[in-house]
Amino acid sequence: MSTEKPLILVVDDEPDIRHLIRDILEDEAYRVTVASNGEEAREAFINHQPQLILLDIWMPDIDGISLLKEFKQQNSQISVIMMSGHGTIETAVEATRFGACDFIEKPLSMAKLLRGVEMALENRAKQVAQQMEQAVDPVGKSAKMVQLREQVEKIAGHDMPILLFGEGGTGKHCFAHYLHQMGNYANGKFIEFSPESFPLDSEKLVSLAQQNCVYINDIALLSDEAQTLLRHMLESGRLQQTQLICATQQSLEKAIQRGDFLEGLYYQLNTITLMLPPLREHVEDIPELVHFFVDQQTAQSGMPYRRFTVAAQNRLRNYNWPGNVTELKNVIQRMLLLGDEDDIDVEDIEAALQADPEPAADDIEGINLDLPLREAREQFERIYLLQKLQETNGNVGKAAKLAGMERTHLYRKLRSLGIDTKQL
């Protein structure tokens, strides 16, 4: 996995705009390359292989849509944000149908530009991660899982909003992907919005959502503005050609009572609800989930295969899993990484469960929330990395794996945070 900052290609024939965007992005530590016309853009695309392209919709030698199509044909994974001036906004909306992930209007607002770039890169990273996970059918033969899969088969083909209700880590994303695969827009995209990334522009929402599956995580945390917009879109039928799946960990009825959630929106969303049980209520699925995650992780990372003894599997069934399937997956990853023997036994499980950083609230207590973001982030990074080093007895290589970073990058990061691993 590369930990270098993503490379962004900026294509615009106006030098002022190119340079302004380059400065803004470089200030945020992105790597940037620029092109002033179609020809240069093609060259930069091949030579630099950017992760994201900011593409002007109109240039003297070629129109942006044709260039977008070319890029998408050569690399369907590439993220492209179109930039449009007044009068070309309809073309920009059109561009989302040809695979642009977003568009921004000129004159450019620095905040919107950075937000757009961040969101595009985040979505790309999520897509890559999802592909690595090879969106699987939910595993489990317990009565609850069998019933849930049957429900999905019945409801996936209807264009009605679906609400997924379940504690953190119970498989809401997993079932949302399954619904997408079984639904009417299986050939369309799976687009995830968090409450912060929800588009507040109705045209943009409709153009992104059409013929696709839209998954909104933590729906109870949507801003009042976003709730009103979503309600309006649903009432006016503008999201009809969309598979809309919303997920929540908290009761929406209670959110309504507190005045935090629109009652009208709740009735729009509550037609079909799937209740995802906590893992402690279907522990009979644990052995199958363990096999599944061991196979998945050893195949993905080349870690050696390790077997769980029967006693170890029983211990896993007796734990109450406050973090549900996510916690089980993390514990398995930790054991595969840290153990040396072929077999994983009860003692390894006890050690991994004790090291489980689930009660996150305690861990972030040391962060001063009055600090500017950059410094608060540094404080968090320090606490987080010290915790990883503690879990691995100061082994930087293993800590890097747990943190999903390259070892050399972690060394550099530790140095910049003033952490001396020899003193630990």
Ligand X SMILES: Nc1ncnc2c1ncn2[C@@H]1O[C@H](COP(=O)(O)OP(=O)(O)OP(=O)(O)O)[C@@H](O)[C@H]1O
* Residue in the shown chain whose Cβ atom is closest to ligand X: 171
User: What does the alpha-carbon distance between residue 67 and residue 89 come to, in Å, rounded to a whole number?
Assistant: 17
CB of 44 to ligand X, least distance (A): 36
The end-to-end CA distance of the chain, in Å, is 27
Bridge partners of residue 32, in order along the sequence? 8
**Closer residue to ligand X, CB minimum distance, 188 or 277:** 277
Q: How far is the CB of 251 from ligand X (least distance, A)?
A: 15
All residues at 6 or more sequence positions from 35 whose CB lies less than 8 Å from its CB, including other chains: 9, 10, 11, 41, 43, 44
Task: Choose between 237 and 359: whose C-beta lies nearer to ligand X.
Answer: 359
Phi, psi of 6 (to 5 degrees): -60, 150
**In angstroms, what is the minimal distance from the CB of 316 to ligand X?**
15
For residue 20, the minimal CB distance to ligand X (Å) is: 37
Question: Backbone phi, then psi, for 54, in 5-degree steps?
Answer: -100, 115
In the complex, the residues that contact ligand X under the rule CB under 6 A are 133, 136, 138-140, 166, 168-174, 217, 249, 292, 325-326, 329
Write the DSSP symbol of residue 421: G
Q: Nearest CA to 82 among 118, 106, 51?
A: 106
User: Measured from the CB of residue 263, what is the shortest distance to ligand X in angstroms?
Assistant: 24
Residue 100 carries which side chain, given as an amino acid letter? A
Q: What is d(CA 124, CA 317) in angstroms, rounded to the nearest whole number?
A: 36
Edge-first strand order for the sheet with 272-275 is 190-193, 213-216, 243-248, 162-165, 272-275
Nearest approach, Cβ of residue 186 and ligand X (Å): 18
Choose between 18 and 401: whose C-beta lies nearer to ligand X.
401
Residue 107: asked if its preceding bond is cis (omega within 30°), the reply is yes
Helix (H, G, I), strand (E, B) or coil at 83: strand
Burial of 295 (0-12, 13-18, 19+ CB in 10 A): exposed
- SS3 at position 379: helix
Let me know: does 266 contact 252? Beta carbons within 8 Å. Answer: yes
Any alpha helices (H) in 12-170, and if so which ranges?
15-27, 38-48, 64-74, 89-97, 110-133, 143-155
Nearest CB to ligand X, comparing residues 119 and 174: 174
Nearer Cβ to ligand X (67/279): 279
Write down the least CB distance from residue 170 to ligand X, Å.
Answer: 5
Minimum Å distance from CB 217 to ligand X? 6
At 37, list the tokens.
């016309």
Q: C-beta of 171: minimal distance to ligand X in Å? A: 3
**Of 109 and 300, which has the nearer Cβ to ligand X?**
300
221/230 with CB nearer ligand X: 221
CB of 78 or CB of 145, closer to ligand X? 145
Residue owning tokens 């799946």: 245
Nearer to ligand X, 33 or 142 (CB): 142
Of the pair 117, 174, the CB lying nearest ligand X is at 174
Q: Dihedral sign, CA of 114, 116, 122, 125?
A: negative
The amino acid that residue 160 corresponds to is: M
CB of 288 to ligand X, least distance (A): 8
DSSP state of 6: P
